[in-house]
Structure 1
Amino acid sequence: MHALPWVAIFLAAVSVVVRGPRLSTLGLLALGYGLAFGFGVLQPLAAIPITLLAGTGLLLQRDPPPAARLLCNLVFVALAIGLFQHWLPGFHNLQVFHAERLTPDAAPFTMYLNFDKPLIGFWLVLTYPWIQPEKDWRALAVSAVAACAATSLICLSIAFVAGSIAWAPKWPHLGWLWALNNLLLVAFAEEAFFRGYVQGGIARLAVDRPHAQWVALVVGAVLFGALHFQGGALLVVLATVAGLGSGLAYRAGGLQAAMLTHFGLNLIQFGLFTYPFIARV
């Protein structure tokens, strides 16, 4: 598979993270997905959800009536579920790891560079700028470090005691690509949706109600945990706790802080512990 589409998409994600010009993000996205269609990586059916996302995003920029706004958001949520679960046809994601055991005791690990899932994050930050609130860099750094440290300690301790992971320092040959993907595509899409759209959206809708911020944080974390249901009950619990940590980071330091918290937890496990978990005999 040609690398050029991925270079453009990664650069578009970097543009978002550093709060680059909106036009640069749009241009890089158009280039990346255009090349993907041109090289045959994306099939014509993939144009349907991409067109729907572009259309609803443009309509919402025009401040439509409440009914139209609600319809656009319902269409987005339906598409987001399909994109998260890789249910929508036409996307041929690039397989990087295929059932590899990163350590002898680890379960087989498969990883894709996804064309579908990142669309969720890009749609959100381009349609609703409030999802990416401006924060002082000190607040961003402090909240990310504190939330990552606390979340990692709690989650990895629970997983270790439960026998799901063990001490296993390593750095696989494609670890750098795993890191780029996890930060710029995975953490970006998931944090934009669960922290920005769900947590931030509930907080905005209920801004005048007591404890709305805390309710929003918990709802976002619980839904994030539920997304991991295929990994079993323990993973749901761990993802919920991780979601609470990222949610606190989002409140204090914005989207970038939530992304760094999410990525930091994953990076510590990837580099120092069994990944993704100890194989079940």
Structure 2
Amino acid sequence: MTSREDEALARAAVTALTDQLALTPKPGLPDPSHRDHNTLRWSAKALTPGLAAMSAAARRTGEPTPGLRAELGAIGRCTEHSVGLAGGGHRGALWTLGLLVAAAAIEPREVPATAKRIAAHPDRGAPRRPSRGSSMSAKYGAAGARGEARAGFPHIRRAWAVLADGTPRPQSRLNALLTIMSTLQDTELLYTAGPTGLRHVQAGARRVLEAGGTGTAAGAKALTALDTDLHNRGWSPRGSAGLMAGALFLDALPATAQPAGTRTPVRGTAARRATGSIA
């Protein structure tokens, strides 16, 4: 049975996802001008019961055990089915937000670290057939969604720092998304565009940031060019979108519940240096 706290965490996570959907222009990703935008917003709401159930399971267990990991996996598969009936999508976001919501229910001031501890356990009930992401991880050595979680969501933490750099919305949110795109080994891009395409997208995101970000004329021009390029090529950095929703979820937590010692506001070139390079 879910509590008000569980339902509040679930609603915050879904709001983070719909806020991510509302960002525009998002290079290669659906935004409000996309024909499927309303369907994606509707199906995002179908995540709410499952996320609340994940929070309740974590709150009841109280620690990141193998049993909790198995229960979250089972809830996640049921939620995927419900989302499919509502229009589909959001699989990567469900993985990310489910772990973060569960972690917030256990230890709200250590969310990424607690999510890392949950993700460290295998999901023994998961289907044995390989997914796109796991296939690309095996082929190219990319971390993938599981590797990102098991590392404590470094890209979410970097994006979250950018959200604190003092830049007004929506520019700060777009800059945070581009920060993720600039280094993430996105397995969806590897599947559709290969390593060369992935590097092309990463370089395009870095060009926007190096031009001063989306709040400058040069950065906005580079963003528009990247958006047009990716849509024309049919390349979609979906992994970045799911992680961006995670960053927005962390940003929405009350200040008293935000992870301690993981956020240092960054500005200008410091924000770009914070992205590092793992690709």
- Answer yes or no: same fold by TM over 0.5: no
TM-score, length basis structure 1: 0.30
> Of the two, which has the highest radius of gyration?
1
As a proportion of its length, which structure holds more strand? 1
